[in-house]
Amino acid sequence: MKSALKIITVFCLTLLVSCGGKEEKKKEKISYPTKEPIEQTTAPKDEVVLASKKVDLVNKGVGPITSVDLSNPVDQKMVERGQGVFKQMCTACHRENKKFIGPAPAGILNRRSPEWIMNMILNPEQMVKEDPLAKELLAEFNGSPMVNQNLSEEDARAVLEYFRTLEE
């Protein structure tokens, strides 16, 4: 029995030494010094204003119209005639109050001179070749040029009078 007790004691000591003496090595985390986050500051981009939203009441455009008088109150007969011409000749590309193939005419007199508008109606080919604003509009509307409808000056003036009644 003494020998069994010795064997058990030796076995327990061996077990104790083999299990208790180990130290678990911790994995060392390698840390690198981090750089301070670099705050990227960029100069604010100049706000791009679409040609259809630009205001230019001085430019008269290129064409036969050099002066238009809008001081009189709106002529309702001319408005009716202009509305009819607009609906017949212009609605393939223009909607009164929203962008379509071409810009909406609502509020156009707040952004363009009456002469510019009439010259654009009467002389669109030369306007897109020579007038900077008309060139920008052509680019904004995907290169879709305004078709010359060969309106008379009286019809173009009636359309302008109709535009006076359209609100944005």
Q: CA-to-CA distance for 99 and 103, rounded, in angstroms?
A: 5
pLDDT at residue 6 in the model: 73
What does the DSSP 8-state code read for residue 104?
A: -
Cβ neighbours of 140 (radius 10 Å)? 17
What does the DSSP 8-state code read for residue 108?
A: G
Average pLDDT, the chain: 85
Residue 81 near residue 165, CB atoms below 8 Å: no
146: number of CA atoms within 13 Å, CB side? Answer: 31
Q: CA-to-CA distance for 166 and 161, rounded, in angstroms?
A: 9
**Residue 106 corresponds to which tokens in the numbers above?**
């609502």
Residue 112 near residue 119, CB atoms below 8 Å: no
Q: Is residue 80 pLDDT above 90, yes or no? A: yes
Q: Predicted confidence band at 161 (pLDDT cuts at 50, 70, 90)?
A: very high
> Phi and psi for 129 in degrees, rounded to 5?
-85, -35
pLDDT tens string 26-64: 566 666 666 666 555 555 566 788 888 899 999 999 999
Q: CA-to-CA distance for 48 and 58, rounded, in angstroms?
A: 21
Q: What is the mean pLDDT of residues 112-140?
A: 95
